Amino acid sequence: MSEPTTIPHPAILVDADACPVKEEIYRVAARHKAHVRVVSNSPFRVPVNERVKRVVVSDGFDAADDWIAENAGPRTVVITADILLAERCLKAGALVLRHDGKSFDAASIGSAIATRAIMEDLRAGMDGVGGGPPPFGKTDRSRFLQALDRVLVGMG
């Protein structure tokens, strides 16, 4: 794993492997002059911009999550759908948004973790039968754009 680095704030840390809103993040970040770190186990194309940096970590289990959690803090927005990573980042003082624009916060993270555990148990008993989240749509994308903009305005 790479050494954590000091990130200029406000910053957006992106759990990039399954993130469907990277282009939207770049647009909103540019408007607010926020710095973006796109964190993954393999290289992703990122815009040529001094405020946008790609962070490629080892392919070790949770290496990207560890980097994000270690670099999260106040005036940091973390974009992830990973509930356990969200909990770690909230404890570090970061704001956390899901890809659909819904936020994780101190009031919601406990029930999200409990629901995750219940669903994991149910899936384990179903012998491979499962569902997953509903398809990502235009409404989710729009809600995300509005939420990220609102968070960055609030960070001023």
pLDDT in tens, 73-114: 999 999 998 989 999 999 999 999 999 998 888 767 656 665
State yes or no: pLDDT of 8 exceeds 60.
no
User: 155: closest CA among 94, 75, 85, 93?
Assistant: 75
State yes or no: pLDDT of 130 exceeds 70.
no
Which is higher by pLDDT, 140 or 113? Answer: 140
Type of residue at 122: L
Going by pLDDT thresholds of 50, 70 and 90, the confidence category of residue 135 is confident
Rounded to whole angstroms, the Cα distance separating 23 from 141 reads 11
pLDDT in tens, 30-72: 999 999 999 999 988 999 999 999 999 998 889 999 999 999 9
Type of residue at 21: V
Residue written as tokens 């940091």? 76
How many alpha carbons fall within 13 Å on the CB side of residue 74?
1
State yes or no: pLDDT of 27 exceeds 80.
yes
Averaged pLDDT for residues 125-154:
82
State yes or no: pLDDT of 147 exceeds 50.
yes
